[in-house]
Every structure is written in C-alpha cells, then in structure tokens.
Structure 1
Amino acid sequence: MIARVALPVPRAAPFDYEVPPDLAVAIGDRVRVPFGTRHMWGIVVELAHEPAFSGRLLPIEATSGPALPGSALELIAAVARQSFVGHGLALARLVPPPSRSRAREVELALSPDAAPPPMAALPSPSQARVLAAVAAGTTEVRELRKLPGGSRAVGSLLRAGILRPRRLPFSYREEGNAITLHPRQGEAVEAIRAGIGHGRVYLLFGPPGSGKTEVYLRSAAEGRTKGTTSLLLAPEVSLLPQLWARAARVLGSPPETYFGELPPGERWRTWDGAQRGEVRCAVGTRSAAFLPLPNLGLIVLDEEGEPSYKQEEMAPYYHARTVAELRAEREGAAVVLGAAAPSVETYFRAERGEIGLLPLPDRVVGAPPAVRVAPRGDDVIGPILAEAMGRHLARGGQVLLFINRRGFYTGAACRCRAILRCPQCQIPLVFHLSERAFRCHACGRVVRDPSCPNCGETRFHLFGAGTERAEHEAKRLFPQATVARLDADTARDRDRILSSVARGEVQILVGAQMVGKGLDFPGISLVGILNADQLLSVPDFRAGERTYQLIAGAAGRAGRGERPGEVIVQSDQPDYYAIRSALAGDYTAFYMEEMKYRESLRYPPFSRLVRLIATGREAEAKAGSLAEDLSGHGFEVLGPARLFPRRGVPRAQLLVRGRRDVVDLLAHALPHLPPWLRVDPDPMWLG
C-alpha cells in the first residue's frame, strides 16, 4: 500500500511513502515520515496501490491517529488551490497538531459534604493552602503555583481528583432572561430552519438592536432538534464571551470555543472533539470555519462585513465567508451572514437574488439613539462630548468612547519635518505612554530613545490620538468615574473588563475597533466617536465602506436598555456621504452612492481583484517584469506599486482585475509560482 502524504513544504505536491505491513494508516491520519535528513509530520491525503514516484520509497515511521476527516481534507485542498499554496502547507497551518490540554483554571471536584479520597485525608500544608485559595475564589493555576509548594500541590490534587480543570473558557456572565421573538425574527428563523440541509445562504440584514443574535441562536436550537450541529463565528475575540454566554442560555449547555489565542491543547481538544462527533455547537473566530463538525446544519458569520474575517497575514489567504459557502455546497449547511452594515459585495448579491435576503427593519432593543455631530477641534474629547458625558454619568448611565487607533500619540515629527518611522517597516511609530516608548504596529519593534534619521534630533513634536490618550483624557475630565480601556494592548484582560462593564462597575469604556460592533450592554446610554474622519484618509477603495460600518456599528451600542441613547460624532466632514448616511442610519443611501463610485472605477462587485505581492531584493523590478508578462497574456494589471517594507523586507504590489474566473485563469498563467511571489485573492486591504 502506498500513502500520499502532504508535508508542510511550500508549493509541494504530496509525497509517496510505503505503508509498513504492521502499521494501520487511513486517509486523514497524521504520520511521521523521513524527509531528506529530517523527520516530519504530515497528513495522508490518498492511499494507492501504485506509486507515482519511480524511485525507491521510504516507509512511514509512525502515526498519531486521525487529524481530520476526508470532507475537511477536500475543503482545505480547495482553499489551498485558491491561495496558490501547497496542500501540505495549508494543512499544517489550518489543522492544529495534537497537544496535551493543560488546565489554566481549576475548581473543586468534590461537593462540600463529599468524603475526600484517602490520599487527601491529611493534605500537606501546601495542598491545604491551595485548597483554601480555591475555596476563596482563586482559580487560575498560575496564581495557585505562586503559593509555597503550589506547583506540586496543584498537580497532586488534580491527580487525586480533588481538583479538576475548569473548562469554561470565559468568566463572562449575564442574566438569562427569556426573550420572545418579534414576528420578523420568527419569520427569519423559519426561513433559516427550512434552509438547513439544502446549502442555502442568507443575508440577515437589520439595524443594531434588531435582534439578529437571537435569530442566530434560535436557528441553532432549531437545527439541534433536527440533529445537526452549528458553528457561530464572530470577527473579534472580544465578541465571543457574550455570544458564548447567550448561546449557552438558548442551547442549554455551553458551546465549545475555537480561536487563535486558545492554548494549543485547548485548540486540539475542540478540534478532536469535533471530528469525533462530541461537539454540537462551537463559537469562534475565522479559523473556526474549518472545524470538522459532522452533520453541520448552520454556519453564522456575525458582522459579516468585517475585514477581520479575511486571513491576510499568511497563506492560505482565505475568507471565512468563502469557506462557509464552500461548506454549504458540500455539506448542505445553511449560511447566515448577519450585519447592520453588510459588505457592498454581499448586499449586491442579495439584491440580485443570488442569496436570500432576510430583513429585520425594526429595532427590538431600546429606542433609536439621538445622533449629533460635533467638530473635532484640538481636544481629544471636545466640549460638546464632555458635557454630554457629564450628563449621562450623573444619571447613572455608562459611556462608550470609540477611536480606531491604539497608543497615546499616533505620530511624531522632527523640526526638519521628517516623520519618525520604523527602521524596518518605514511606517510611522506610535508612542505608548504605558511603556514610555515608541512601537511599530506592523512588526512590534520597540524604540525607546529615537533620533531623527535625517538630522539626528532627539526631540519631536507628538501628534494624533489613540485609545491610550483617550483613556487618559477621560480620567482627567472625570476623576470619580471608573475608566477601562479595551484594545489589542489590554486584550488579555478582555473577559474581566467586559464582565465589569456588564455589572455596571465600569462607567466609561474606551475602545478601538473591537468594541465598535456586536457588544450589547443595556447600561451604555452615550457613545462618543472621537474621530469619524480617520478612515477616510486610508488609500483604499473600501475607505468609505469601512467608515460607514464603524460609525454605524459604534452608534448602535447606545440606548439598548431603558435609558434613552445618545451618540455624538466628532467630525470635520459630516457632509461626506459615508458619514452623512451613517449618522442617519441609512445603509440604502450609502449603498447607492458607493455603487456609483465602484461602478465608475470598476471595483468589486463589478470586478474581482487579485493581489500579487513581490518580496525581497529588487521586488519592484520583479513585479514590473511580471506585470508585463501578465499583460501580454491578456490580464488587466494595475501597478506595480511600491509598498512599505515589512520587517525590513522590500515589497511591491500588483493588482490583477478580471471576472469571477480570474483566479482560475491566473492559476493557468502561473503554474509554478516563484518563492518571492504571494497571491492573495479578493484582498481586503490594498496597502
């Protein structure tokens, strides 16, 4: 028997290996094989009786059992082809390796009146200290291990069964109130239920507060009664705790979780449980789109227009929406794309009848907030917004301040007018007050004592504002209020911060993009958008769309409870169509203007784009030569354009514009991709 094994070798086809007579191997198994002078783990993608390789075959050395089912193999193979990468590399990056799950939190496994096992009848002093700490509420293993003798005591108590791993991934909790569906919500649930098993795709379109989340969860519950599993995706990890808690309320048991920040052991536990048929529902971010849930009935993408659903950091460059629709075709799952501000491409498809449109026109949570515009001025929090914050705080309301940049100052300029940039990436450095240093948000480089590369000056004019500066200003203006900041720099504490907001312990929450959508806190009565013009300066054809989405999404967080909501948008361009439409909450008006612009310049959805990035020495020259070659084969090529280096590596970009089949045509034109070239279909960012 011959096994074809996909190995994590860039752009390589599977390799043939001999299956030893005493080794049982199946398609989808993870196996260890010799490769040159090394030993590598790969995945069996095919079994055959005759080799495709004419030389001497080496034997498989070992197997660790199933890594994924055959249906998932085919799905990842399709994604790899679309991204111009080898099957083995895609599998290595999308399928987690087996890893032992280590407990991050523990809890008492025995009831208070239960008799302890003999081993713990007379616990050691260190065990007694650990048990006392757990009983007092300390559950994190890293904290328990800091106690004298804690590391050994925790291990012995786990082995004895006195402590057990605490599997709940989030500590977020909220009241489980029964919710009655409004008629339009009920109609949407019924339509989705009918689509389960038939591979139908729907756009669930409604303003913030229209009850989309409840439709997702009731649809998952309907699918469970039919014996199917469900997959609920969110664009940001910060949105998962609330979605997880609400899914547990509706479904009766907590769903499993799957996202990049989970420890390797927890990722493998969820993945392996899914392929064994032990997982009925899972929530996660974009990588969860590949979870091998059997009998999959429903896939939900909440806030489907968010660019975070696209993987653009490394190959394979997939979009979770595309993966979901591929699974719908193959497995019959219903796909629900939910949004208050869907991507233009998705709404275009719904308008043409390519996917179903399920409208939720009315807000069912609270009343629409009053929206006002205030000039930006020189202050991070202008006087109009500051006055409104004082009013709402005095009435017991909570305030959300949104600004889509991290750090304290977002730029620094020398007297010679040079901008302080990262030496490797050439993008402007951001000053972080907590570190007393500048940081590059592309490569993570920290610069503590910078000097101007042009004149050597060490004093700079600092400008711009990020979340850290907004937090500082909120504390200065309202010293009696409890202020919290939620962005990528405080992400490790997101669960605690969100729980504190839900309990009303935080009066002012400052956040970046992760707090601008999806969160539902009835206590928030005022939302302040500190710089609505920020995204309009981004050199990208989607700048208007992202501006609308962020303003409309952030504004939708206000007034979701009993208190009237208010939104104040600081902007110097309130008449720009994206901002004007967002202030009115009028997606249709925005869409009509945006479509005129897209059609005149033949941007998606009136074409399809593929981004080609050349890297390394002479990247621009290589891109230029490739542009000439592709143009000669009839492709419409835009560029080359020089990009900022990434970690010191020069880069240049080409855009290929064409019809829906442009990716397939490129695959024929570029059968052997050079190592310096990356291909990203349907890019979300062009800079």
Structure 2
Amino acid sequence: MIAQVYPVIRMPQSRAGSGGGVFDYAIPEDLAREPGDVIRVPFRGRTVMGVVKSLQPTSTFGTIKPIDGSTPLFRLSSQEIAYFEQIAQELGISVPTVLYNAFPQAGARGPRPVSESAVQKLSIPTTDVERLSSDVRSVLRASRAFVWCEDIRYAAALIAGVQKTHTGPTLILCPNVRDVRLMSAYLSSHAPTVVTGDETEPRRFANWMQWRNAGGIFIGTRIAALMPHPSLSAIYIIRSGHDNHREPKRVPPFDARIGAERLAELVGAKLIACDAAPTSTQLLPDRTIIGRAPDTDTLVVSQSKERPHAEHVFVSPSASAAIAEALAHGQRVLAVLNRKDATSKIGLGISEAARGLRAAFPTATVAILEKAAASVPRSDILVTTRFYIENVFNPAHPEGFGLVADLDPDALLYSSLAGAIEETMRTCFEWRAVAHANRCPFIVQTTRPELFERMFSDPIGLLKQEADAAGAYRNLVDNVPKT
C-alpha cells in the first residue's frame, strides 16, 4: 500500500508540481495508516512531519522510501485537509508550505500545555444585560452573523452566554496579542487554551493538541486560523474590522477572516463576527446583523457653522464648553486625535494640540499619551491617539473620564484607500465605546455633521449606500471600452 503524503516543509510552488506537493511513500505491511494521519517521513536526508492525503494500491514511481514506523502524532479530518488545500490554492502557494506555516514543530518530548493565568472578573453594566440576553439568543439561532460588540468585554460576555448552551469546540480569533490576553482573562472560568505566536513552537504545538483532545475554547491571533479542530462548532472573529487579521507581509496576504469563512463552510461551524461597528462585507444575504450599539450620550458638532465664533482654531465652542463643564465638575477629559502628526484634518499634531489645550484651559493639567509613554499620565486632559485603544483601554477598568472628545474624526475620511467611511465609522464607534465604558458623554466635532449623524442614526443604511456606490463604480469601470 502507498501513502500519498504532503511533507510539512517550505516548498516553492514551482517544485510542488501538478500534485500540489504530494509524495509517495511505502507503507510497511505491519503498519496501518489512514488518510489524515500526521506522521514522520524521510525527506532529502532528514525526517519531517507529513500529512497522509490518500492511500493508493501502487505508485507510478520506481523506488520509494517507507514511512516512519512511529505512532501518528494526530489525525486531520478530510475537511481539515480540504481547508489547507483551499488556502494553498487561494494564496498561490504549495500545500506543504501552508502546512509548514500552520503546524508548530513538536519537540522530542514536548512541554505540557499551559493556559493563561490572568483572571479578570467578567461583568457588564446592568443597563446592558437585557441587550446581551437578546444577543445571546440570536447568536444561538444564527449560523452566520455580525454582532454589535462595543468592546472585548461585551464580546466575552456574549461568548460566555452562548457557551452555556452551545458547548462544542470554539475558536476565537483576535487581531493582536493584547486582545488575546484580555479575552483569555475575561473567559478564565472556561479554562481557555491560548496561542499568540510569541510562545515557542513546542509550547504552541502542546496547546493546540490540548484543544484538539479536550475541546473547549481556543483563543489566538491570526495564526490560530491555521490550527483547526476536527469537531469545531463555532468561530468568533473579535474586532472583525481590524487590519491585523490580515498578514501584510505576504503576497497575496493571508487573511484570518477569509480563512475562518472557508473553515466554517467546510466543517459546518457557526461564524460570528464581533466589532464596534459592521463593514459592508457583513451585509451579505447569508449574514444576520444582531443587536445594536449601546446607548451613549452623543453630540455631533458642526465645525463649519461654529468656526466663525471659535476662540481656538481646533476646538469648537460646543466642544470647548463641554470640556469646561467636565473640568468644572472635577472630571477628566480624553481628547482624541486620529492622526498623531500634522497630517490631521485640523492641521495639528498631538504636541501642537496639547499646547493649544493648555492655552485654552490654563488652569488644567494637560498630558500626552503615545507610544513612548511608560504609563498613563494622571492629568485633567489627556491627549491621545489610537494608541490608547490598542494598548491601554480595558472596559473593566475605565480611567474615569467625564468626557471623550473626538477632535479630529474627519482625518480618516481623507485616506486614499477604499473603505474610508467604513473605517471612520468603526473608529468613531470604538471611541464612543470608551465613553460608554466610562459612562460619560461623547462629542464629535466635524466638518461633515450630516455624515456622522447618519452614522449614529442609521449605520446600516449608510453602509448599504456606500456598498451600492462602490458596486456602481466597479460596474462603470468594468464597462469602459478597451482601447
């Protein structure tokens, strides 16, 4: 009997041939092997892992080497093999290369699997309990859905609620390591298994095998999208609009969200995207939009109307009054710029904005929080960028702000990339979620007030309008006569 095997090695597509990188190996008569077995095989003077694609009675090659006689490390299902083959085809690389990037290399003995030790009490405000209960019921009924989850805490509470009924093996994909650790801490009572890419390969292999053998919850960065489970029942994509779900250095890039889509289709798992706001990709006919953004006191200010009356170039009278009121009540203010340099729409970098706020509010202390900061300054007004959301914000432990003021929400609208309005909406809703966690008002000063008012009052309608416009533009381009 012959085993057709994918060796788990880097292999250029040019060397993989029409078979996609399959090599024939002889199976000794005293051994039994099955498709999907992950075994060890000799390959060009060394021993490597290999995946048995299929069994054949004979080989078209003359002399072939025998497989290793050791016990298979584990077994992939036919759906899992099909998943890796599909990823290879879409990326235009060989199946062995996909497997090499996916499989952590096991050590000789291998370390014991470990779980994250951090524990974070998972609770949400009483005002959100009814909304959460409704969202949990809707997710249990859905197979493909987007859920409005303003932050990781709410997403964790949603998953914990679903797990009470839907208990099968669950994969949670996060865009970065910090989000993995927060999610793991929130779900610590479920004893999740975690991979981040920072651990050693033997440790990652041990954790993956722990999940494959015991089930439960598996939380990871995009590498976890290449570490499936044969009985996977649900996949959650946390902060689904975040760019880090996509590998930027690969051409073409691997996108964990697309991988999750393919995997869910093959194994019949739920696919649930969670974020502060949806994107147009969530408007497909097979998707259900679940829930809504939380109620937050929000004020949209027209800079164009208020500029003639403004005492300060970059702070509208309404924003200035809101900041002054918060300070008068002894509350702190989070002032947000969506660009840290002078490319922002208001024409100021973060340092210039801080100086302007000091001039506008001379009795208040003003500090900057950006990448170089060792800790969060304790000031009356804290000026920051997305660094705060990505590296500091924990909804379970808000900083106690009395106002979140987005001074420059228009900056992202002037991006040359497609989807500028979607990214602006998502970013704005993330800052609004910071205000919600602090139970304080959120103010947006903009030259496009009608756009932001539409974002908050009819976000789905706005996304549909943008998707229709993009589709019409593509049709126009496709129908331009070729010369």
Question: Which residue of structure 2 aligns with residue 559 of structure 1?
Answer: 436
SS of residue paired to 1:598 = helix
Matched, 1:278 2:182: no
Matched to 2:249, the amino acid is: E
In 2, Cα distance between equivalents of 1:80 and 1:311: 15
Closer, same or farther in 2 for the Cα pair 1:374/1:180, shift >3 Å?
closer
Matched to 1:254, the amino acid is: A
- Contact 1:68–1:292, Cα closer than 8 Å, also in 2: no
Matched, 1:369 2:298: yes
- Contact 1:552–1:585, Cα closer than 8 Å, also in 2: no
Q: Deviations over 1:194-241 (max 9, x none)?
A: 45xxxx2122247779955533320123212xxx12222333333333
Q: Structure 2 matches for 1:292-331, cutoff 5 A?
A: 292-314=228-250, 317-331=253-267
Question: Which residue of structure 2 aligns with residue 39 of structure 1?
Answer: 46
SS of residue paired to 2:65 = coil
SS of residue paired to 1:342 = coil
- Contact 1:17–1:58, Cα closer than 8 Å, also in 2: yes
Runs of 5+ consecutive residues of structure 1 not aligned to the other structure: 104-164, 412-462, 608-634, 640-687
Which of 393-402 and 3-12 deviates more? 393-402
Matched, 1:535 2:464: no
- Contact 1:234–1:303, Cα closer than 8 Å, also in 2: yes
Question: Which residue of structure 2 aligns with residue 335 of structure 1?
Answer: 271
Question: Which residue of structure 1 aligns with residue 472 of structure 2?
Answer: 600
In 2, Cα distance between equivalents of 1:313 and 1:478: 47
In 1, Cα distance between equivalents of 2:382 and 2:124: 25
Closer, same or farther in 2 for the Cα pair 1:382/1:230, shift >3 Å?
same
Q: CA deviation at 1:560?
A: 2.7
- Contact 1:536–1:543, Cα closer than 8 Å, also in 2: yes
Q: Deviations over 1:222-279 (max 9, x none)?
A: 212xxx122223333333333223223xxx333222223344344223212122x224
Q: CA deviation at 1:44?
A: 1.7
Closer, same or farther in 2 for the Cα pair 1:100/1:66, shift >3 Å?
closer
Closer, same or farther in 2 for the Cα pair 1:602/1:297, shift >3 Å?
same
In 1, Cα distance between equivalents of 2:43 and 2:151: 55
SS of residue paired to 1:43 = strand
In 1, Cα distance between equivalents of 2:101 and 2:356: 42
Matched to 2:192, the amino acid is: P
Q: CA deviation at 1:323?
A: 2.9
Matched to 2:459, the amino acid is: Y
Matched to 1:187, the amino acid is: S
In 2, Cα distance between equivalents of 1:210 and 1:397: 24
Greater relative contact order structure (CA < 8 Å, 6+ sep): 2
In 2, Cα distance between equivalents of 1:398 and 1:65: 60
Q: Deviations over 1:282-322 (max 9, x none)?
A: 22233323333353222222332333333343267443333
- Contact 2:119–2:185, Cα closer than 8 Å, also in 1: yes
In 2, Cα distance between equivalents of 1:530 and 1:41: 56
- Contact 2:193–2:211, Cα closer than 8 Å, also in 1: no
SS of residue paired to 1:551 = helix
Q: 1:74 aligns with which of 52, 71, 82?
A: 82
Question: Which residue of structure 1 aligns with residue 171 of structure 2?
Answer: 231
The RMSD of aligned alpha carbons is: 4.7
- Contact 2:282–2:289, Cα closer than 8 Å, also in 1: no
Q: CA deviation at 1:390?
A: 6.5
In 1, Cα distance between equivalents of 2:160 and 2:194: 15
In 1, Cα distance between equivalents of 2:333 and 2:64: 67
In 2, Cα distance between equivalents of 1:380 and 1:33: 70
Q: Deviations over 1:608-664 (max 9, x none)?
A: xxxxxxxxxxxxxxxxxxxxxxxxxxx99999xxxxxxxxxxxxxxxxxxxxxxxxx
Q: CA deviation at 1:484?
A: 4.3
SS of residue paired to 1:313 = coil
Q: CA deviation at 1:174?
A: 4.7
Question: Which residue of structure 2 aligns with residue 345 of structure 1?
Answer: 281
Q: Structure 2 matches for 1:84-483, cutoff 5 A?
A: 84-99=92-107, 167=114, 169=116, 171=118, 173-174=120-121, 176=123, 182-195=129-142, 200-205=143-148, 213-224=156-167, 228-248=168-188, 252-275=189-212, 277-314=213-250, 317-347=253-283, 349=284, 352=285, 354-358=286-290, 360-361=291-292, 363=294, 367-372=296-301, 382=315, 392=326, 395=329, 397-405=331-339, 465=349
Question: Which residue of structure 2 aligns with residue 6 of structure 1?
Answer: 6
Q: Deviations over 1:311-369 (max 9, x none)?
A: 3432674433333333333333222223342111212x1xx4x22332x24626xx433
State the number of aligned residues. 459
TM-score by length of structure 2 reads 0.75
SS of residue paired to 1:58 = coil
In 1, Cα distance between equivalents of 2:470 and 2:431: 25
- Contact 1:208–1:363, Cα closer than 8 Å, also in 2: no
Sequence identity (%): 19
In 2, Cα distance between equivalents of 1:18 and 1:478: 81
Q: Structure 2 matches for 1:582-621, cutoff 5 A?
A: 582=455, 584=456, 586-602=458-474
Matched to 1:219, the amino acid is: V
TM-score by length of structure 1 reads 0.55
- Contact 1:4–1:46, Cα closer than 8 Å, also in 2: yes
- Contact 1:169–1:257, Cα closer than 8 Å, also in 2: yes
SS of residue paired to 2:258 = helix
Closer, same or farther in 2 for the Cα pair 1:340/1:53, shift >3 Å?
same
- Contact 2:245–2:257, Cα closer than 8 Å, also in 1: yes
Bigger proportion of residues as helix: 2
In 2, Cα distance between equivalents of 1:298 and 1:18: 38
Matched to 1:230, the amino acid is: T
- Contact 1:201–1:325, Cα closer than 8 Å, also in 2: no
In 2, Cα distance between equivalents of 1:324 and 1:552: 24
SS of residue paired to 2:61 = coil
Closer, same or farther in 2 for the Cα pair 1:75/1:54, shift >3 Å?
same
Matched to 1:222, the amino acid is: T
- Contact 1:369–1:565, Cα closer than 8 Å, also in 2: yes
Matched to 1:242, the amino acid is: L
- Contact 2:85–2:95, Cα closer than 8 Å, also in 1: yes
In 1, Cα distance between equivalents of 2:353 and 2:227: 39
Q: 2:454 aligns with which of 581, 585, 589?
A: 581
Matched to 1:363, the amino acid is: P
Closer, same or farther in 2 for the Cα pair 1:282/1:473, shift >3 Å?
farther
